[in-house]
Amino acid sequence: MSTKSAQPHLLTCARFALAFAVLPLGKGSTLEPAGLAADRVATLFWVLTIGATVIWLVVVGLALYAVSASRRPQSPRGSSLLIVGGGVIFPTVVLAGLLVWSLSMLPGLLAPAPAGSLEVRVTGYQWWWRVEYLGAEGATIELANELHLPVGEPVELQLESHDVIHSFWVPALGGKMDMIPGRRTRLRLEPTQVGVYRGVCAEYCGTSHALMSLVVVVEERQAWERWLAAQAQPATSPGEALFLEQGCGACHTIRGTAADGALGPDLTHVGSRASVGAGVIEADVPGLEQWLAKTAHLKPGVLMPSFGMLPPPELTALAQYLAGLR
């Protein structure tokens, strides 16, 4: 291939990489567990890996022995022992042991959180997460693409889907759980370390499946309570007139204003979030401006229309208003 034709190709790749570069939203490795369930999953991973390694070493060792053994005839008794012992009994015992041990983990992983635990409903949409904290008096506090949890406490997630099958997965905190339309699934998480963790959709769900991230912030109980109390407040930032004027309220709710749309994410405190568009771009003024102007470009297939036709000063003012909703 000549350099001339290779260059545009490289450029395309670079553009692709840029367009789909992920925001550093938080830690996301299942091998650095920060929750009880993830810890068990990690233990299971290491035990199975070590078990498999041992079996591999023994099998390869036997193969090498068979190749290098002297031509002197083996006793039939010794050979039978080797074949039955190494080929049947050893793997059966090891695999059965691992199976019994890993199955014995399931009840603990599947057990619901104890009554009275924090309950959060997370609903999957193409391609974002609606998050609702279920208050004691039936009141819900709604946000999107972000979950805050108190450290060291079990939490019960109620998982639902609005459209197609999604799968909720925060690798550092726990296992995966499918979100199935018309049905509620549950997942118990119990974070053990303060930190920020990345969640993803783990079931291919359409064009922008790869752009469906979730931020999980684990914090001390007091900080979490302050956060939840702040989220429960109506919006305080002035300047909603422009937002309403463009008709944004047809799809988005901002509590405390006339915007009461139910289609898209609740934006009451959008300025306090790590990102907009489920991990696509930062929720600051430049990020929001980009998001408003090039929505479909940043997130192919998204339901929200781009507002790039608005005059730039209005776009900036809208972005400033939204970023101010903290």
Partner 1 sequence: MKRRAAWWLLRFAAVGGAVVLIALLVVTTGLVPIKASSGHWAITAWFLEFTKDRSVATHSLAVTLPPREAAWLVMKGAGHYEGGCRPCHGSPGLPLPRVAGAMTPHPPALAQLVSQRDSEQLFYVIKHGIKFTGMPAWPTQQRDDEVTAVVAFLEELPHLDAERYRQLVFGPAPAPSSAPSLVATQCERCHGDDGRGRGSAAFPGLAHQRRQYLVNALEAYARGDRVSGIMGPIAAGLRPDQWGELADHYSQLPSEGRLANLSEAPPPDPARIERGRQIAAEGLPQLGVPSCSDCHGPAPHQRNPAYPLLAGQYADYLVLQLELFKERRRGGSPYAHLMDKVASRLTAEQMRDVAAYYASLQAMDGQTTER
Chain positions contacting partner 1, by CB under 8 A = 241, 244-251, 258, 261-263, 303, 305-306, 309
Q: How far is the CB of 246 from partner 1 (least distance, A)?
A: 6
Q: How far is the CB of 309 from partner 1 (least distance, A)?
A: 4
Q: What angle do CA 102, 107, 111 make, to 5 degrees?
A: 140
Q: Which is nearer to partner 1, 185 or 306 (CB)?
A: 306
Give the list of residues 6+ apart from residue 259 with CB closer than 8 angstroms, or none.
240, 243, 244, 248, 249, 252, 253, 267
Q: How far is CA 312 from CA 17, 238, 318, 319, in A?
A: 27, 20, 10, 10
Amino acid found at 121: R
Q: How far is CA 311 from CA 86, 147, 301, 315, in A?
A: 76, 34, 24, 6
Q: Which is nearer to partner 1, 85 or 305 (CB)?
A: 305
Q: How far is the CB of 235 from partner 1 (least distance, A)?
A: 15
Q: How far is the CB of 109 from partner 1 (least distance, A)?
A: 33
The CB density around residue 67, as the number of other CB atoms within 10 Å, is 7
Q: Which is nearer to partner 1, 53 or 140 (CB)?
A: 140
**SS3 of residue 128 by DSSP:** strand
**SS3 of residue 232 by DSSP:** helix
Q: Which is nearer to partner 1, 132 or 156 (CB)?
A: 132
Q: Which is nearer to partner 1, 128 or 169 (CB)?
A: 128
Q: How far is the CB of 264 from partner 1 (least distance, A)?
A: 9
